[in-house]
Chain A
Amino acid sequence: MRLRSSLVTLSVATALVLTACSTGQGGTTGGDPTAEAGVALTIAKPDGAITTESHNPYLGDSSASKYGYAKVIFEPLALVNPTGDLGTTPWLAESVEWNDDYTELTVVPRSGVTWSDGTEFTGDDIVFTFDQYLNGTLTDTSGLNYEGATVDGDAITLKFADSKYTAQSRVLHTPIVPKHIWENIADPNTDPLTEDGLAVGTGPYVLSSWSTESVTLTANPDYWGGELAVPELHYISYGDNAALTTALVSGEADWAQAFIPQIEDSYLSADEDNHFLASPTAGAATLFMNLQTKPFNDVALREALAWTIDRQAYVDIAREGASEPVWNVTGLGSVLEDEVIPEFQGQEYSVDVDKARQILTDAGYTWEGDALVDPDGERVSFSISVPAGWSDWNTEQALIAEELNEALGIEVVVDQPDWGGWDAARQEGTFQAIIHWLEDTGNAYGMYTSTMDPKWIVDGRAQFNFGRFEDPAVTEALNTYATASSDEEREEASAVLQTAFAEHVPAIPLGAHPLLGEYNTRNYVGWPTEEDQYASADPTQPGIVQVLVNLEPAE
């Protein structure tokens, strides 16, 4: 692991060297004066060689899922935008409609769609896909709790045991598979689909060749969504971020999702056609504090932290601009602005050290020299823990330690254990502070269930809510939010949650979790941009089909 982190550090230096080289050279691969139509697009990942072939879309670690090419072969019922307007676009269904309490989904299958082997796509395929969960041949790893379907003319109604309001994208993004092929597959969980004629989908591209070094897909000539500008896709995986950056700069790779240090110098300046888009989502990198033990069992201290930690520094320095700060006292970021109740609109934290010190003084804290002393007379100190090698959050650890020490006189110990030790501490509640991600449900629920919901703690082990917040009124509001059958009810519950979050400060969100995308406009245009985020620019997201359909040859 040490080698790996030193590699990351050095990637910056190399990237600089490489940039200098490629710009100096005038760019044999870079600034092509004329754009070429009909060139292949190369999508790259930094995961090392992917040497085992499996096209199974349901398996998180099959080659199809690791590269992400499963998303251009198998299509879902609808696409839920994880960014921008968070809207739902019907895809393999002509329409998707939820009932009031989100336990039933009514879909009308799109007509005129064929599987890539020529068979017609029908509603039977949709019912078959979901019925795999029902009879247990497919393990329900998305927690759908599907209960069966009824067919009424064209419309199919899928029923679920509980409300899916907070898991809409899990249902809608289920890859639809052809019944005539999958009914003969004994174990759909693990079948690699490597035999001829099994990797059949409705998607815009079909598998052409697979090798341990790359995967090639060609445009589906009968695609229902119309003609595709890009005739061929290559998927490649490079050894690490440094190698991926080199490939992106040299033009060997076109499209990737990766955190590139010093992206302006190492990638964007290499060619004016290179672009980078970071799309904020509803999730956020969040500072979780252990509410059960000192020093964080005192809300005054948590509030003082919220007024001291510089979120803009997290975005600018730790994430190098690839994120968006979260300042609102409700913890909700920009994409969820509409959900903030009027009372909290514009109510934002800022870096206000005087205010933080005032809050601490009022709560009985004193200072001994520069050091903060709690009402019991003990020096305030805690450790903040992030696995070694998560470079952006490791930087944030150092930033927080510096900010809190300078502003408030709190001694912060920076702890960088290996993943296993970190994982055990967060689950068993033996940590003091960690930086962690949130469950993304595409609405405000994700923030609040991740930070305040006791349902995540089973047998004393936490999967979220690491600080172990528990308040019956909040728990009830969370359940109401998830299962409400009307918008009014949900808004009421949301108000309770937002108030509780602002009052108790159970966690401190730092910056929105971004979906990253590096792409170039040398040969194709029509990508998602800052202004038009109809999808994220991340090629591993289901929205990739929207982007591919939208691409046009550059002038």
Chain B
Amino acid sequence: MTAVQPRPPVEDAIEVGTTATTVVKGHSRVPWRFLAGRATFYLFTLWAAITINFFLPRMMKGDAVDQYLSRNRNVSPEAADALRSLLGLDTDKSLLQQYVEYWGLLLRGDLGVSLLHGLRPVTEVIGQALPWTVGLVGFATIVSFAIGTIGGAIVGWRRGSRLDGLIPLTTFLGTIPYFWLGLLAIALFSVNLGWFPIGKAYGVGMTPEWSGEFIGQVIHHGALPAATIVLASLGGWMLGMRNMMLTVLDEDYVTVAQAKGMPTSRVLWRYAARNAVLPQIQSFALSIGFIVGGTIVMEMVFSYPGVGKLLLDATNAKDYALMQGVFLVITLSVLVANILADVAYAFLDPRTRQTEG
């Protein structure tokens, strides 16, 4: 939560906003009230999210023991009481008491134990899955964002040329249901051509280590899922960027820059693309939440470890501790991403930097 603490004055431009109307003249006027407002907002969002995460799952019907019995049908329902005490569900504490205790544990960094994963600590369970999700989905999203944005800028610049054909093509790829794309990729590249393994993060019998062989395996296994994610999400980025470019290219300053005889590449990247990219940054910040939330479908099709399946299973099994843990991670990352998006705005939009003098 350190990210919402008041910051050194040099950064305060971030908080000033993105429109010229709020530009503050002068060097060292720190907008305390504004910063405090933002901090309160972020803290309130965090509290609300954690509270909802606590109460919402508990409103679902059924409890963890019923779910355990339906998963393990060889266990007699006669053992239900014994199971309740084993899983720590035999308390008759009120929901409010549990809620207060939950905050107490949370502030000490204790997320509880996951019923679904052999009663191991939630931090350990999430810690095993999160790196894979962030690594693969994060990498694929950045690649997709980069290609889509740069491609969209070029396509927008050369409007009316043959490159325009890229837009319907990539949007089409984006509308194919992802699992179908994944299954086709497996059928073609894994089963038929044998270029890539069918799934998993690395080969059977390997143990994670910092060796060339292991890293090679991870890349080999991750190539297909990463490529399909890029293909499926490219269209959105490209379309958004190209549309913004068309608007920006009509602006007077672009015409002026061209009239002054500036090199095309300078006009394209420094004048047009730089302004057109702003909404893209906002979308990217939002998509970070999805990165951490994982992509359940990808994890299922490619048998890839990750947070998505973890959350799905935890929800189905009423594993409250694990659900809360995963939601907490997602909430935090979305908040942090929003703060980072503000920072990125400051760098890209000169208007927000005017206070730096």
Interface residues of A (CB under 8 A from B): 3-4, 6-7, 10, 14, 17-18, 21-22, 25, 28, 42, 48-49, 51-54, 56, 59-63, 65, 139-143, 167, 170, 189-190, 192, 209-214, 216, 234, 236-240, 242-243, 246-247, 249-250, 252, 419-421, 423-424, 427, 437, 439-440, 456, 463-464
Minimum CB–CB distance for B134 against chain A, Å: 14
Can you offer 8 A-B residue contacts whose CB atoms are under 8 A?
A49-B309, A52-B120, A139-B86, A213-B203, A213-B204, A216-B204, A249-B191, A250-B198
* Contact B82 A439, beta carbon cutoff 8 Å: no
A4/B300 contact (C-beta < 8 A), A49-B305, A49-B309 known: yes
What secondary structure prevails in chain B residues at the interface with A?
Answer: helix
The residue in chain B whose Cβ has the minimal distance to the Cβ of A213 is B200
| Contact for B68 among A61, A236, A456, CB less than 8 A | A61
CA–CA, A240 to B72, complex, Å?
18
Residues 184-224 of B contacting A (Cβ, < 8 Å):
186-187, 190-192, 194, 198-208
Query: Which residues of chain A are within 8 angstroms of B118 by Cβ–Cβ distance?
Result: 52, 54, 56, 59, 61-63, 65, 190, 192
Contact A51 B129 (CB under 8 A): yes
Bound-complex Cα distance A113 to B198 (A): 41
Contact present for A239 and B116 (CB under 8 Å): no
Q: Which of A42, A51, A54 has the most CB of B within 10 A?
A: A51
Partner of A246, one of B82, B125, B191: B191
Which B residues lie within 8 Å of A61 (CB)?
68, 71, 115-119
Contact B80 A463 (CB under 8 A): yes
Contacts of A56 in B (CB 8 A): 118
- CB proximity of A110 to chain B, nearest CB, Å: 24
B107 within 8 A of A: no
Q: Which chain A residue shows the least CB distance to B308?
A: A48
If the complex has contacts A214-B205, A424-B62, are A49 and B304 also in contact, measured as CB distance less than 8 A?
yes
Give the residue of A10, A52, A236 whose beta carbon is less than 8 angstroms from that of B125.
Answer: A52
Residue of A48, A54, A211, A427 with highest tally of chain B CB at under 10 A: A48
B54 at the binding interface (Cβ < 8 Å): no
| A141 partner, pick from B82, B120, B306, B309, beta carbons under 8 A | B82
A48 to B313, CA, bound (A): 9
Given the contacts A52-B118, A216-B204, A246-B191, A141 and B75 also touching, CB distance less than 8 Å: yes
Complex Cα distance, B212 from A415, in Å, reads 54
**What number of B residues sit within 8 Å (CB to CB) of A?**
72
Known A-B contacts A59-B118, A213-B305; the reply to A419 vs B199 at CB < 8 A is no
**Residues in A neighbouring B2, C-beta threshold 8 A:** none
> Nearest B residue to A247 by beta-carbon distance?
B198
Q: What 4 A-B pairs have minimum CB-CB distances, sorted nearest first?
A: A54-B118, A49-B305, A463-B77, A62-B118
Q: Are A190 and B201 in contact (CB under 8 A)?
A: no
Asked, given contacts A52-B120, A62-B118, A140-B82, whether A214 binds B204 with beta carbons under 8 Å apart, the answer is yes
B237 located at the interface, meaning its Cβ lies under 8 Å from any Cβ of chain A in the complex: no
Given A21-B187, A60-B72, A143-B76, A48-B179 contact (CB < 8 Å): no
Assuming the contacts A59-B119, A60-B72, A243-B301, asked whether A142 and B67 have C-beta atoms less than 8 A apart, the reply is no
Which residues of B304-342 have CB atoms within 8 Å of chain A's CB atoms?
304-306, 309-310, 312-313, 316, 318
| Interchain CB contact under 8 A, B299 and A10 | no
With a cutoff of 8 Å between Cβ atoms, the chain A residues found around residue B206 in the complex are 211, 213-214
Which residue of the partner chain, among B79, B86, B120, contacts A54 with CB atoms under 8 Å?
Answer: B120
The answer to whether B296 has its CB under 8 Å from any CB of chain A is: yes
Q: Which residues of A contact B313 (CB under 8 A)?
A: 48
B74 within 8 A of A: yes
Q: How many contacts between A and B, using CB within 8 angstroms?
A: 196
Q: Is there contact, CB below 8 Å, between B74 and A239?
A: no
Q: Name which residue of chain B comes closest to A167, CB basis.
A: B76
Q: Is the CB of B202 within 8 A of A213?
A: yes
- Which of A21, A42, A49 gathers most chain B CB within 10 Å? A49
Q: What's the least CB distance linking B355 to chain A, in Å?
A: 47
Contact with A52, one of B82, B124, B183 (Cβ below 8 angstroms):
B124
Most B Cβ at <10 Å: residue of A18, A22, A60, A142: A60
Is B303 engaged at the interface, CB distance under 8 Å to the other chain? yes
CA separation between A471 and B298, bound complex, in Å?
A: 53
Q: Is the CB of B187 within 8 A of A17?
A: yes
Q: How far is the CA of A544 from the CA of B117 in the complex (A)?
A: 23
Quote the shortest CB–CB distance from B24 to chain A (angstroms): 48
> Contact between A192 and B61 (Cβ–Cβ < 8 Å)?
no
Residue of A nearest to B67 (CB): A419
Let me know if B170 is at the binding interface, CB within 8 A. Answer: no
Chain B residues whose C-beta falls within 8 Å of the C-beta of A240 in the assembled complex? 300-301
Q: Enumerate chain B residues within 8 angstroms of A211, measured Cβ to Cβ.
A: 202, 206-208
Contact A14 B183, CB 8 Å, known A59-B119, A192-B118: yes
Contact A51 B125 (CB under 8 A): yes
Nearest chain-B residue to A387 (Cβ)?
Answer: B70
Chain A residue numbers with a CB within 8 Å of B252 are none
Across the interface, which residues of B come within 8 angstroms of A54, CB to CB? 117-120
State how many angstroms separate the Cβ of A18 from the closest Cβ of chain B: 5
Chain A residues with CB under 8 Å of B198's CB are 243, 246-247, 250, 252
Asked if B114 is an interface residue, CB under 8 A from chain A, the answer is yes
In the docked arrangement, what's the CA distance between A239 and B71, Å? 17
Q: Is A52 touching B117 in the complex (CB atoms < 8 A)?
A: yes
- A28 CB contacts on chain B under 8 angstroms: 194
Q: Assess whether B300 is in contact with A212, with CB atoms less than 8 Å apart.
A: no
* Mask: chain B, 96-127; 1 = CB below 8 Å from A; 0 = not: 00000000000000000111111110001100
CA distance A142 to B113 in the complex (A): 22
The listed residue (B66, B74, B85, B301) touching A423 by CB distance below 8 A is: B66
Check B304–A239 contact: CB distance below 8 A: yes
The answer to whether B303 touches A237, judged by C-beta atoms less than 8 angstroms apart, is yes
Contact B77 A420 (CB under 8 A): no
Is A236 in contact with B74, judged by CB distance below 8 angstroms? no
Q: With both chains docked as a complex, state the minimum distance between the C-beta of B280 and any C-beta of chain A, in angstroms.
A: 27
Asked if A243 meets B300 with Cβ closer than 8 Å, knowing A141-B75, A189-B86, the reply is yes
CB neighbours (8 Å) of B304 from chain A are 49, 239
Q: How far is it, in angstroms, between the C-alpha of A6 and the C-alpha of B182 when the chains are bound?
A: 14
In the complex, what residues of B have CB within 8 A of residue A139's CB?
82-83, 85-86
Tell which of B114, B120, B309 has the most Cβ of chain A within 10 Å: B120
Among the listed A4, A6, A60, which residue makes an inter-chain contact with B75, where contact means beta carbons less than 8 Å apart?
A: A60
A59-B118, A243-B301 are contacts. A141–B191 as well, Cβ < 8 Å?
Answer: no
